[in-house]
């Protein structure tokens, strides 16, 4: 068998593990004798691979270029045989989306408001303090920049510039700032009350596009006069100045509510003398909203008697209101 095989060494290529170690590559030449039937298997070479094809061609024609590599060469192994070496045939294409989550996300979102913002939803779920005002106005401006023709949906569950216990936490200008930003937008603004819309938040609810102001069936709306901040050890003259400013803000709030609800300023001013709570039905009657978001609510609410009619039919005598 040894006599029938001629195994001349064509070239040897250093292995990837160590440059000094060589692995022989053999060519098999079988004689025409019928007794020669054994062949040494050779690893297949992909003809579509330009690097391996070029390497095989150099190994067959001038193996010394592979065997006699200079020591301390800074070039990567076997790349110096190319005139213009390229690591990739074409550069990688990176897909860039216009906005976050345009395609299926491959990692968790930065935060939940970002996902809501992608759906053009601005959620006001905290009292109107400077940080909330800054975020809401920025989101409104961003949505107009993205598309000035698509509507913006403002979901409101906010106690305005006060907490639920009535303590003031923000200035009335916080609500007026969001209101002015809403009025400057070119987009339609759909407002939805999903919990409570109290004070300045009720103004934002009523300031939506006419016909696009909604309320959940069990949400509450309430309008009230602005509150004087705590005076503490403030001088009497400063207390008077702040009281005048609160009265000015109250008059502005009355004018804006009258404008968006369709009521007279006298009517709004009268009901605002004390906190005026409204359920979804009363809010619709008062002009704060246009529709209650409840499946089948039109027929159900039409069949429900008002509290006064229910008391009358039940024979309950109504005492003078407090």
* Domains, the chain, with CATH or none: 112-294 (3.90.226.10)
pLDDT at 242: 85
Distance CA(254)–CA(269), nearest Å, equals 6
pLDDT of residue 37: 47
Instruction: Give yes or no for a contact between 198 and 160, defined as CB atoms under 8 angstroms apart.
Output: yes
Contact at 8 Å (CB) between 205 and 156? yes
pLDDT in tens, the chain (322 residues): 444 444 444 444 444 444 444 444 444 444 444 444 444 444 566 666 666 677 677 777 776 666 665 665 555 555 555 555 444 444 444 444 445 445 555 565 567 777 788 888 999 999 999 999 999 999 999 999 989 999 999 999 999 988 877 778 888 889 999 999 999 999 999 999 998 999 999 999 999 999 999 999 889 999 998 887 766 677 888 888 888 888 999 999 999 999 999 999 999 999 999 999 999 999 999 999 999 887 655 555 566 666 677 667 767 665 654 4
d(CA 306, CA 64): 102
Question: If DSSP codes are grouped into helix, strand and coil, which group holds residue 292?
Answer: strand
Q: What is the pLDDT of residue 91?
A: 42
Q: What is the DSSP letter of 290?
A: S
Q: What is the pLDDT of residue 203?
A: 95
List Cβ neighbours of 16 (8 Å cut-off, separation of 6 or more). 77
pLDDT computed for residue 155 by the predictor: 94
Among left, alpha and beta (phi > 0; psi -120 to 50; other), residue 166 is: left
- Residue 68 CA to residue 231 CA, distance in Å, equals 91
Burial class (CB in 10 A: 0-12, 13-18, 19+), 250: middle
The predicted structure's pLDDT at residue 21? 47
Contacts of residues 55-62 at CB distance under 8 Å and 24 or more positions apart, as own/partner, are: 55/13, 55/81, 59/10, 59/11, 59/13, 59/25, 60/10, 60/11
- With beta carbons less than 8 A apart as the criterion, state whether 159 and 126 touch: no
pLDDT score of 78 = 55
Pairing outcome for strands 9-14 and 22-26: antiparallel
On whether the CB atoms of residues 215 and 221 are closer than 8 A, the answer is yes
């Amino acid at each position: 068998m040894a006599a029938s095989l001629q195994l001349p060494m064509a070239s040897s290529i250093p292995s990837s593990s160590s440059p000094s170690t060589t692995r022989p590559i053999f060519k098999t030449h079988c004689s025409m004798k019928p007794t020669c039937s054994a062949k040494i298997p050779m690893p297949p070479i992909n003809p579509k691979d330009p690097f391996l094809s070029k390497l095989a061609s150099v190994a067959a024609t001038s193996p010394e270029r592979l065997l006699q590599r200079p020591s301390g060469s800074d070039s990567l192994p076997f790349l110096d045989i190319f005139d213009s070496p390229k690591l990739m045939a074409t550069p990688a294409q990176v897909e860039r989306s216009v906005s976050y989550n345009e395609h299926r996300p491959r990692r968790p979102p930065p935060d939940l408001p970002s996902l809501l913002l992608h759906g053009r939803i601005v959620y006001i779920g905290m009292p109107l303090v400077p940080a909330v005002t800054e975020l809401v106005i920025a989101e409104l401006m961003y949505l107009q920049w993205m598309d000035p023709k698509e509507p913006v949906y403002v979901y409101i569950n906010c106690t305005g510039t006060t907490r639920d216990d009535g303590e003031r936490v923000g200035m009335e200008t916080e609500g007026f700032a969001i209101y002015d930003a809403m009025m400057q937008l070119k987009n339609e603004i759909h407002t939805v009350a999903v919990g409570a819309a109290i004070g300045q938040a009720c103004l934002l609810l009523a300031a939506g596009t006419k016909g696009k102001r909604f309320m959940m069936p069990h949400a509450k709306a309430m309008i009230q006069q602005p509150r004087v901040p705590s005076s503490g050890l403030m001088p009497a003259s400063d207390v008077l100045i702040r009281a005048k400013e609160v009265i000015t803000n109250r008059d502005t709030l009355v004018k804006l509510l009258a404008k968006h609800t369709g009521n007279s300023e006298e009517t709004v001013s009268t009901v605002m003398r004390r906190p005026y709570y409204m359920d979804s039905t009363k809010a619709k009657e008062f002009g704060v909203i246009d529709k209650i978001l409840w499946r089948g609510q039109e027929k159900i609410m039409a069949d429900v008697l008002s509290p006064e009619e229910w008391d009358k039919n039940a024979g309950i005598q109504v005492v003078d209101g407090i």
